Structure 1
Amino acid sequence: MNINDVIQSLAAVRAQKPLVHNITNLVVTNFTANGLYALGASPIMAYAKEEVADIAA
């Protein structure tokens, strides 16, 4: 993988603006969300087991 591959991959992610469901511990929630925003994704930081089925649907 070279820099052009990375640039193309990042452009593809940003073009699709994926919705990403995260199940992380509370210590890294903000860090993970900010990283996903920086990549062009839209994070959902939901970890309650009652929410999983609704989010995955």
Structure 2
Amino acid sequence: MPEDVEFLRTQAEKCRWLAARVAAKDVERTLLQMAQEYDIRADRIAAEKDGG
């Protein structure tokens, strides 16, 4: 199933939202890393759709 850019961006935003609300720094770092990975995947898909 192909990944949807909007879905990936939404997931990244959820991770950032959660990261801003947790007290545990290791969890915050993990969530921010996940957000970055979602953004990277979304950027790649968007670039492919735009011709690369």
**TM range, smaller chain:** 0.3 to 0.5
TM-score by length of 2: 0.41
TM-score by length of 1: 0.39
More helix by share: 2
More strand by share: 1
